[in-house]
A and B are shown apart, each in its own frame.
Chain A
Amino acid sequence: MNYRNYIYSLLLVAIIGTSSCTKLDEKPYGLTNTGSFYKTAADAKSAVIYAYSILPEVGYYSRGYYIITELPTENLSQKGDAGVSNFELDQLRTTSTNSDLDNIWTYLYRGISRANAVIINVPGIENMSATDKNQIVGEGHFLRALHYFNLVRLFGEVPLRTETLADVSQIPAEKSPVSKVYDLIISDLKSAEELMLPAKNDEGRANKAAAQALLAKVYLQLASAKTSSSPKYEFVADASAMYDQAKIYAGKVINEQSNFVFTNNLPDIWNTEVYKKTASEHIFDAAVDRTGEIEGNYSKLTNMFLAGDRPMTILYDANNPASASINIGQGWGHFLTEAAHYNGYPTNDKRKSQLIVSTYVNDGKVYNLDIASSSRPFSRKFIDPLRIGDKTSCNSPVIRYSDILLVYAEASGPTADGYAAVNKVRSRAGLGILNPALGLQEFRDAVVLERSWELAFEGNRLFDLRRTNTMEKVLVQQYGKTITSGAYFFPIPQRELDTNPLMKP
């Protein structure tokens, strides 16, 4: 054969052969990572938006948080086919394989990972005003503190993660004592308070007052838990100093700012078109909007509460027959209001008549909801008459003005300040003033009870019972529940125990 053919083909081999030895580096398409991000002010803002976006997700404030914090109390139970994890929580017999606990644990740490990314990466961004940078880093600290505060109240001793994850060798982490977790929470919140601006931020984003409000709640937690000998709070040195701090920070929110205010009419507190657009009680919310595309952008929390029989029309103000009729749609009736809570309100408490739906109209027919049936009266706090299908704009309230007023009252004790704060809340509810002759403990007990009505279904009750060491007293002795496990701290999820070699149950 022709030798030229050899030569040509060998040449071809050589050429293509060499080109095929080129580097096999990947050039990813449409993907961002640490190497290409955190360069500009817009990146910084985007980083903190990402940190916030965990809040309204299904596993966190848009459903999971309420399942975890409300079912174990006397507030809510769940429908029959809700699944074993819900039942375990409701019946206070949680195990480490509880999937709802696994969810909340996972989402809390995802939130921490996102907040860490802000705290660690944003300070290094050049060409950005110090004010903007501080505000964003402050929000990162605020969010991290919020997640750890939730974690420590739910699970107690937990691993403290303050770095971004660059390598698998960082995965093993041991539990930190409760005191260390609080050290981080307080230092984060102090940084947040210092770095953030007092001006009102965008909807769903924190400002200085939010940090102060959360700090007040943290101090009250430490103070009351120590005072009541709640488990694992022995480390708190001086409860009364903590009460003082709680009062100071709650006082800053009540007295030193006007972005968040007391709303006089109860239904207005929960009117999305009011609280999202004017000065309101919503100091910090997980924000959503009905125009969102996926759950987490919008909320379906509404459906968890609303009865599922038929579309419902109610009066805007149930106590005012002249008020507008609003169409609130229909839900899944997942949460069932417990009789213990429903029947526990003082007579004429407007929080029961105005903020719990006990009757509705469908097709001209009036239906009354029976607290003993499977279609029960439900909270009116999460309704959206403008809902699009199942998509609602109901924000999940994380810190509310009334909450801080009651923190202030409880921290102040039976003082003029304390009575003024609690009576402000009571009078709005149509109740008379609190017995002015209460002793310190009686007063604080009364405030905690007030909180159970005022903040019902907002995820506070479990923590109030835990920090006042009254889980058994209230749930067992008063309401006849049985506590098998997880009274003060839930078990750490099995998945974490299985995959984190330094983690012990």
Chain B
Amino acid sequence: MTRVLRLALCLLLILSPGILLAQQRTVSGSVYDDTGATIPNVTIVLKGTSSKVSSNADGKFTISLPSETSVLVFHYVGMDTREITVNAGERTLRVDLKSNAKTLEQVVVVGYGTIKKSDLTGAVSTLKGSELNRTPASSVDQLLQGKIPGVQVIAPGGQPGSGATIRIRGSSSLNGSKDPLMVVDGYPWGDAGQLKQINPEDIESIEVLKDASSAAIYGSRGANGVIIVTTRKGVAGKPRISFSSLNTISSLSVKPDLWRDGADQAIYENEAALTGGTPAAELPYLGQVRSGVYFPSIAELRGLDPNKPQWPYNTDWQKLVYRNPFSQSYTLSADGGSENTKYSISGNYYKEEGLAIKNDYNKYTSRLNLEQKLTPAIVVGTNVVLAYTRNNGGGLGITRSRIFPAYDANGNYFRTSNTDYGNPLALANGLLNTTKTVDVLGTIYANIKLTSWLQFRTQLNSKFGNSVNDQYDPNGVSQRGFEAQGYGSIDNANYSELLNENYFTVNKTFGTIHTVNFVAGYSIQKTENRSSSLIGRQFVNDNLQNEDLSTAASKSITNGLSRFDLSSFYGRANYSLLNRYLFTLTARADGSTKFGANNKWAYFPSAAVAWKLNEENFIKSLNLFSELKLRASYGLTGNQGISPYQTLDRFGSARYFTGTGFQTGFGPGLAGSNNEQGLTIVGGLGNNSLKWETTRSLDLGVDLGIMDQRFTLTADYYVKNTKDLLRLKTIAPSAGYDQQWINDGEISNKGVELGLNANIIQGKDLSWTAGVNMSKNRNKVVAMGESTRIEVGTLYESVRQRINTFTIGQPMYSYFGYKSAGIIQTLQQGIAAGLTGADAQPGEIKYVDLNGDGVVNADDRTIIGNPNPDFTYSFNTSVKYKQFDFSLQLYGVQGIDVFDFAKMTPSRQILRWTPDNPSTEFPRANNSRGNRASDFYITDGSFLRIQNVTIGYNFKPNVIKGVKNLRLFLSGNNLYTFTKFNAGYDPEVGENGINEGGYPKTRAVSLGLNVGF
């Protein structure tokens, strides 16, 4: 009975348009976007029917309508859907669609699905690809700096091809990975920080999942947050071809602080040697030959020696070693398709020259997104990315003495002794150091619409990459080349990964009250990393470089492979009641081979609620808020960021000479990397109970919008507590091992994030938007098992200690060392301070005897600084006036302590303590000082940077025939930095806060061109 009824109903539905056709009229019109340009391929549906058309290439459409008043619905990706009432008799229409980038209708990509922004319950930030600064960037990571609240991007240095360090809501791991998970088009690629395979211009949007509710679906990889990158997809219609170019000229952004006068340097070095105990007759600059090289006297350098001519050399190393590098980027892309086939294809060539000569980075990337509708219910598609990079050379120093020439009389590189390997020109021209990488990333997928509300998606992802590093140090160019009498190497690394994801999605609304959305699925992932290294030492000559390592007298080989599997089940349920109360439950179970036999599976549940107050009548009646939403979430995420095999007992191997040759031994204790003194650190003790780190996080947020979302505010407060930290525990050395991986310890992060956006003016000719965001995070090491302090990072030979520590009650990486109280002025002062010997002499740094035992020794060290900023902030604004556009970004970091190892720059050395100049700021010259890590080196590294200024001009369509749009722009990056930091350096240093003078940053000015056909 019911079946018959249903059949009848269907027939009626099918026939009804035919019935309506009888009284039709034709309406035509054009669709425009907010810049006034016409939009092709807009879907126009007659509401309540299946009758639909699309706008043509010129944005025009024609549709047949019934003669009475009707409603047309205009759909276009990235635009707000608009309903237009067409009154009886109306024949032509002009429809303006508004970009939904800032509106509530915007669809946001989340893990395994999408959701309307207004329905979000978790803390998710989103950024359009078009909002990224146009400046040379080998990876998109550094372009995220200052763009999203809660996302800290650290990009110290300007080495071509270098990535960035990304931290979402602080760091929460001691030894495991601290990098967020990077997901590209639904495929988890791995740690963020070096996304070189994706051309920033191909990016449609970037979503950042910050809280447990949004990240828990990535389970044991979600604790550091998740960054989702979505690339451009094709849309039906005529091909849209576009070309863009970016040509950039860069220059050093901070003037290096170098000796300007060789005589000043010589005086300083003589004084330092004399103070350091060198006999007066053996000082460096006395006009004597040392190791075959003539060292001039001070008088000679000054031109005051009556018997000698003025010293002829004054080498400007900065000029010889640095240049104004030129960089280029060209992208050609095409999007388009039909109702059934859609494609988006692009290719990019990128070349970045380094500031240092002979240093450059080249990249070729291409991408294809293709989707085919097989049946109305089945869509299949593929995404393919190919990337090739080549890097040559690296950084070079310019602090070499200007007293000596670059070349000797015979045209060879000048050396100050036969063990001098510091001539940067010799290094730049002599060393071979090239790295090539190839990456192939592919996805094939099928989406099956099982019913109107149930979908199944299966996808197969694979990733394959290879990198080869070629090095050759000729004999006599570098220390390594000298020691080995020619050192050549080839390092190979390749990885491969296979991932299969399968999940169901349910979208269903029951009446007008209940809407549900479910995702449930599973995945299995297999990863394999392989490496090998071939090293040859001692070559007959340098002719072949590393091309035939078999000719080396001594050869060594290493190789390794690590593999791990991850199996997962995951699910999410969204439930919306009355479109006011939103609930989300998420869970993932991860099984990883990396973990101990006792702990193979991990479970990560989370829950979130949100209340759309703006849908309540009592708020509606205020007529103030276009959005007012309160959000709360709580849940668990994990971190499995350790290498495979750490749970197993592993033997080490070593060689021993037994007269006729070396024999290889195996046994307990796996020597890891050597420490800085050449001493090995031994691990290899298994741990069957090793497991993931667990982060419990609470997020409370509010989304607020007024005046139809012209002014919006998003604020979040969060508390993250990470337990079971994966930690290399120091074990009693008498056990024969130094360390073992364990789960132990706790770190907390608390913070506030604020994002403010304003569309201040929204006119046809003039628009002005501005945004501010601010992030404040408080990090604290809560517990680390038996230890109250662990020293981490590099062991600095000059101060014979590590400087960064994890100390209970302090933020991660806090500096540990001595307090200082100016400069000792008299020996009595020095002795009274608890110092002895050379340390107590006038002119030395007065360290503080903190524990008051009368002696300054290692026990007087304490926490002397914190490299984590108090807060970071940024300001973005853009103005469009007719064809012109202008944008500005400021980025600031406030309240950060930098440990400035480079503090004693030449301009400060000139101000040193001497008996005649009793400085209270800078110590005397002394080349045998037992330096100590102290707050003498700590400098406030706060800064505010004019990160980017862009001025563009958009030509009118068809200014050149066939050119739909044409934009020319000038973009300046890293234009100026306001800071009180050491004048010779950029204040932005790595996560550990230590300034050792890395690859200098540049100021870049780019001329860009975008052409659309």
Contacts and interface: CB of A to CB of B under 8 A. Distances in A.
Interface of A: 1-2, 5-6, 9, 12-13, 16-17, 19-22, 24-35, 37, 43, 45-59, 80-81, 83-85, 87, 95, 97, 99, 102-103, 105-106, 109-110, 112-114, 116-118, 158-159, 161, 164-165, 168, 170-173, 202-205, 276, 287-289, 291-293, 295-297, 309-311, 330, 363, 373-374, 388-391, 493, 495-496, 498-500, 503
A51 B441 CA distance: 46
B930 A171 contact: no
A467 B560 CA distance: 49
A503 B732 contact: yes
B853 interface: no
24 contacts: A5-B450, A9-B448, A16-B500, A20-B523, A20-B567, A22-B567, A29-B560, A31-B648, A31-B650, A49-B654, A53-B655, A58-B678, A97-B858, A114-B736, A161-B736, A164-B668, A171-B735, A202-B659, A203-B659, A287-B659, A288-B657, A289-B662, A297-B656, A500-B735
B678 A114 contact: no
Given A19-B524, A29-B561, A205 B658 contact: yes
A289 B661 CA distance: 8
Contacts of A296: 654
Contacts of B653: 32, 50
B562 A24 contact: no
A33 B731 contact: no
A6 B537 contact: no
Interface in B480-530: 482-485, 500, 502, 522-524
Interface stretch (B231-239, B272-280, B993-1001): B272-280
A11 B644 CA distance: 32
Nearest to A172: B732
A80 B652 CA distance: 36
A391 B682 CA distance: 24
A496 B733 contact: yes
Contacts of A49: 654-656, 658, 663-665
Contacts of B248: none
A388 B552 CA distance: 14
Contacts of B287: none
B124 interface: no
Interface in B610-652: 644-645, 647-652
Contact of B858 (A43, A48, A95): A95
Given A49-B654, A49-B664, A165-B685, 17 more contacts: A16-B500, A22-B567, A24-B565, A24-B595, A25-B597, A26-B564, A45-B663, A50-B666, A53-B654, A80-B277, A84-B800, A116-B736, A168-B740, A171-B735, A373-B279, A388-B538, A499-B731
B535 to A, nearest CB: 8
Contacts of A389: 482-485
A49 B735 CA distance: 20
Contact of B291 (A51, A99, A310): A310
A291 B484 CA distance: 10
Given A17-B522, A310-B291, A292 B732 contact: no
B307 interface: no
B126 to A, nearest CB: 31
4 shortest interchain CB distances as A-B pairs? A113-B736, A50-B665, A203-B659, A49-B665
Interface of B: 276-279, 282, 291-292, 377, 417-419, 448-451, 456, 458, 482-485, 500, 502, 522-524, 535, 537-538, 553-554, 556, 559-565, 567, 591-595, 597, 600, 644-645, 647-660, 662-669, 677-680, 682, 685, 687, 730-738, 740, 786-787, 797, 800, 857-858, 928, 930
B659 A495 contact: no
B698 to A, nearest CB: 31
A31 B483 contact: no
Nearest to B590: A24
Contact of B732 (A25, A43, A171, A391): A171
Secondary structure class of chain A's binding surface, majority of residues: loop
A184 to B, nearest CB: 14
Contacts of B278: 374
Contacts of B685: 165, 168
A33 B649 contact: yes
B593 A12 contact: no
B731 A171 contact: yes
Nearest to B277: A80
A5 B449 CA distance: 9
Contacts of B537: 293
Among B450, B654, B732, B734, find the residue whose CB has the most chain A CB atoms closer than 10 A: B734
B458 A102 contact: no
B658 A80 contact: no
B733 A493 contact: yes
Contacts of A99: 677, 800
Contacts of B561: 29-30
Contacts of B565: 24
A377 to B, nearest CB: 16
B662 A496 contact: no
A30 B561 CA distance: 7
Nearest to A311: B418
Given A50-B666, A374-B277, A203 B734 contact: no
Contacts of A172: 732
Contacts of A28: 644-645, 648, 650
Nearest to B930: A84
Contacts of B567: 20-22, 24
A172 B786 CA distance: 13
B502 A16 contact: yes
Given A99-B800, A498-B787, A24 B678 contact: no
A84 B857 CA distance: 10
B800 A85 contact: yes
B735 A165 contact: yes
B819 to A, nearest CB: 18
A28 B684 CA distance: 13
A495 B786 CA distance: 12
A66 B306 CA distance: 51
B860 to A, nearest CB: 12
Given A34-B649, A110-B669, A499-B730, A165 B737 contact: yes
A172 B648 CA distance: 21
Contacts of A5: 377, 448, 450, 456
B660 to A, nearest CB: 8
B554 A291 contact: yes
Contact of A498 (B417, B740, B786): B786
Contacts of B524: 16, 19-20
B658 A204 contact: yes
A203 B657 contact: yes
B658 A293 contact: no
A24 B665 contact: no
Contacts of B592: 24
Contacts of A291: 553-554, 662
Contacts of B482: 389
Contacts of A20: 522-524, 567
Contacts of B740: 168
Nearest to A6: B450
A373 B281 CA distance: 11
A32 B651 contact: yes
A9 B520 CA distance: 13
Contact of A161 (B658, B665, B734, B857): B734
B930 A495 contact: no
A32 B652 CA distance: 8
Contact of A109 (B377, B650, B736): B736
Contacts of B930: 81, 83-84, 87
A114 B732 contact: no
A112 B737 CA distance: 11
Contacts of B449: 1
A106 B734 CA distance: 6
Contacts of B500: 16
A159 B734 contact: yes
B304 to A, nearest CB: 29
A13 B502 contact: yes
A203 B649 contact: no
